[in-house]
Structures are given as structure tokens and as C-alpha cells.
Structure 1
């Protein structure tokens, strides 16, 4: 068959680039198990391994991964400070940080979001949940489950030591404010659409505008904005 005979459907195409993952975990057995799982999964590869927060910052700058699995408790520098430095570095700011946590580490959730984390993964998660979390975060979405969001509200927005900073929301519309409040309560796009009697497409448009107006990198940062703007102060969403 000549080149002129080749149809558009026959044109070769390149496979999508694998999701490049950096592992930041000080426990070698856990790190090794993650590496074996990820490297054995089509469409993913481990590009670096860090045993300390300082190493994570260095390797993130060097390799520019798509996703970083970041443990909170590590030597030299904890995962929150490492996340803050990675997200502030222009060379590694495009990386999405997925915090590895346990429910007895709830103290870190709010600080991790402020530092720039895009999601959280419980260490007891299954292999399937881990891989799904990496894909979600790599796609640019935030992985912030409603259960985590509600725990965050319950645990940290009722005490003076966790009082959120104030946030000026004067530039957003009334509808955008409603959408932001529901994001802060942990609702998905479809749940927000149903609650406000909108289409999912309209909700996505409002979210895009909120991201731009509030200079937020993803949905997790919008959750922070909802807290700091005083839109959510109780687990049931009542102000």
C-alpha cells in the first residue's frame, strides 16, 4: 500500500507518555513495594526514590516527575516542608504531590493543602486504589475524598490553633460562591450540579473561573479558599 492509499484511520500514533512517579518514603520496604507495583503497571514508571524530604526536593527538581508520593514523616525535612519547596520551585512546580497519610496524622492535612498538595492517600489503601490515585492526580484533578474533607472541617476549623487565614472573595459571583462552598464540603461535580440544579458542564465552567480568580492550582486549593473565605465552618455545611 502506498502512502497515498493510507487512510486517516491507518495513520500510526504514538502511545501516551508514561506517568512519571517519584517516591518519597523513608521506610525501604514500603518504598520497594510501591516501586515494584508502579513499574509493573503499564503507563507508569518510577523515576526516582527519596528517603528524606531533602532528597525529595532535590530529585523533584532533577527529574520533574508528574506525581510525587510523599510521606509526611521523614528525616531531615518532613513531607509538608518538602511539598512547599517543590511547589515553589519553577522547575518542579508542575509535579502533583500525593500525600501518604494515616488517620492518626490528621494534624497534617490542612498544612499539606496549604503547602500545595493535590491529594491524600491513606497508607492502608489497596494496590488498585494507589494506582487509581496516581492517575487521578496526574490528570490534573485533586484527590480529596469527602471523608477527608469532612474530617478536616471537623478536626481543624473549630479550634483556635487551626483557625484558617482570612480570604477575600469579593471578586467571585454569588453562584461561584455557592459552588465554592460545596467544594469545601467535599461534593463532587455531579453532586454540586444536582444540589444547585445545574449541568455538570456549567459546574465545571464555574470551577474553571474560580481557579483563575483565586489563583488556585487545583480543587484542593479551592477547598482551602472555601475555608479561608469562611464559607464552610461546620461538618454539615451550615455557616
Structure 2
């Protein structure tokens, strides 16, 4: 039996940006579940059967800080084991990459980066995780 493609949780509040990233990820053969608020994503993650292989989180969300959501997710004992977090932001605060990594994110990308860099980073994070067999 062929394993299911890796599951990516995408937390992005801007509909156009969210659709763009979702389409890119699906073209890469990945399954995507997307949310526009931290509250919705946190509720989904609270269910034991929902275990993404990668989480992509925007820094600025309508209901709070993506950095704080990342911190809570990464500190939760029951979070998806080995599921890396990729943080995204269009804001140019030079402190953001370090703040995101301190919160538990593996990588930080500026949303203005080209989509090839986004795809490479997604594949790099997935190949380092437990679902590397899908990408082989």
C-alpha cells in the first residue's frame, strides 16, 4: 500500500497568499489543510488524529501572534513528533527570524522570497522529518 502524501498545516490569514501557497504545495504532491486563524488551527491540532508532517505559520494573524502560536505548539507534549515549523512573514523586522527560531520554528522565510525557495525549504524540512520516504 502506498503511503499517503505528507500533510501540511498552513496557517495564513490572507486569502490570496493562502491560496497561492496551497496551490504550490498541492502541485508538489502534498496534502494541505489550511486555516485563517490561530484559534482554528489550535483546535484542529488538539484532535489526536490530526498530525501534520509540516506546519507553516504566518507571523501576523488576526487573532494573535504566529510566534506565540508556534511557541505553544512546540511546547505541547502531544504535538506531532518531528513535525517542523516554517514561519512566514512579509514584515521586515530583522529580529523576526531569531524570535521565530527561539519559539521553536526550524526555518523562517520572508513571504516575498521566490516560490522556488519556498518549495526547496518545504522539501528540506520534510526530508529531515519522519516522512522522508515520500520524497525519495
TM-score, structure 2 normalization: 0.80
- Identify the match of residue 120 of structure 2 among 117, 129, 132: 132
SS in 1 for 2:78: coil
- Identify the match of residue 60 of structure 1 among 24, 37, 45: 45
* CA distance in structure 1 between the aligned counterparts of 2:96 and 2:40, rounded to whole angstroms: 20
Is the aligned partner of 1:27 residue 2:23?
Answer: no
Is the aligned partner of 1:107 residue 2:107?
Answer: no
- The answer to whether the Cα contact below 8 Å between 2:52 and 2:80 also exists between their aligned partners in 1 is no
Q: Which runs of 5+ in 1 are unaligned?
A: 1-13, 142-239
* CA distance in structure 2 between the aligned counterparts of 1:117 and 1:38, rounded to whole angstroms: 19
Pick the structure with greater CA Rg: 1
* CA distance in structure 2 between the aligned counterparts of 1:107 and 1:50, rounded to whole angstroms: 25
- The answer to whether the Cα contact below 8 Å between 1:23 and 1:70 also exists between their aligned partners in 2 is yes
| Paired position in structure 2 for 1:45 | 31
Q: Which runs of 5+ in 2 are unaligned?
A: 130-136
Aligned counterparts, 1:75-224, within 5 A: 75-94=62-81, 95-102=83-90, 104-140=92-128
- The answer to whether the Cα contact below 8 Å between 2:68 and 2:103 also exists between their aligned partners in 1 is yes
* Greater relative CO (CA pairs within 8 A, separation 6+): 2
Structure with the larger helix share:
1
SS in 1 for 2:92: helix
| Paired position in structure 2 for 1:179 | none
Runs of 4 or more off by more than 6 Å in structure 1?
none
CA change 1:106–1:56 in 2 (3 A) is farther
CA deviations over 1:201-237 (Å, ceiling 9, x no partner): xxxxxxxxxxxxxxxxxxxxxxxxxxxxxxxxxxxxx
CA deviations over 1:6-56 (Å, ceiling 9, x no partner): xxxxxxxx54541210111110111011112211222x110x211122222
- The answer to whether the Cα contact below 8 Å between 2:11 and 2:38 also exists between their aligned partners in 1 is yes
